[in-house]
Structure formats: C-alpha cells, structure tokens
Amino acid sequence: METTRQQKVNSLLQKDLADILLREVIVPNTMISVTRVNVTPDMSVARVNLSIFATKDKAEALKHIQIKKAEIRRLLGERVKHQLRIVPDLQFFLDDSLDRIERIDELLKQP
C-alpha cells in the first residue's frame, strides 16, 4: 500500500521525467511516454515504466535511455532539489500494456 507521500513523489517524478525525456534527452525517431512511476517506501529507488512509440526496435530505444540514466538523474535532481532530499536511483522498464491491448483487439476482430 502506497503512502500519500509516495503517491505525491510518484506524480512529481512522472511529470518531471516526462518533460526531461521530451525536451532534454532526445532518442532519434522515437516518442516516449512515462506511464507510471513507483518509488520504494524509503524513496531510494524509482521504477519508471515507459511506453515507446514510433519505432521498430523498442529495446534499442530503452538501451539508449539506460545509457543516459546518469544524465537523466542529474537533470531530475536539478528540478526536484527543493522537494526531495535524495534523488532516487532510476530503473527503466518497458511498458507493453498498449501492445497487449492491440493484440487483444486483433484477436477479438478475427472471425
């Protein structure tokens, strides 16, 4: 069960990470959406779920983001320095829920 503090931090990190990935960290020919952020109860780790669009190789885009993880964390720290004492370590995961929804729709449309 998430505390109110965790929910507020999740929301703050999601908004700021989405803005950073949109404006600061450019992944060529890719659109990235931050679907969900979950911080641990001690606020030391943030699990970030990303939806990646407009690319054939989603794993390559995720790898590009993993390589730039330190830069993303630094930029995040500059934005949340007055709200958080410690910037959590970021762990990025691919959110494939939209792909699963599309697959289910395709299966339902088949005769």
Distant-in-sequence, close-in-space partners of 89: CB < 8 Å, separation ≥ 6: 44, 45, 46, 73
> Would you state the pLDDT for residue 18?
94
pLDDT, mean of residues 32-40: 94
The residue among 58, 68, 66 whose CA lies nearest residue 94 is: 58
Q: In Å, what is the CA distance from 4 to each residue of 18, 33, 37?
A: 21, 24, 14
Q: Are 13 and 2 in contact, with CB atoms under 8 Å apart?
A: no
Tell me: pLDDT of 22 over 80. yes
pTM: 0.84
Tell me: pLDDT of 78 over 90. yes
Give bridge partners of residue 90 from the DSSP assignment: 46
Q: Which CATH class is domain 4-109?
A: alpha beta
Give the confidence band of 109 by pLDDT, cuts at 50, 70, 90.
Answer: confident
Pick the more confident residue, 88 or 54.
88
**Percent of the chain having pLDDT more than 90?**
61
pLDDT, mean of residues 26-44: 90
pLDDT (tens digit, 9 = 90+) per residue, 4-17? 999 999 999 999 99
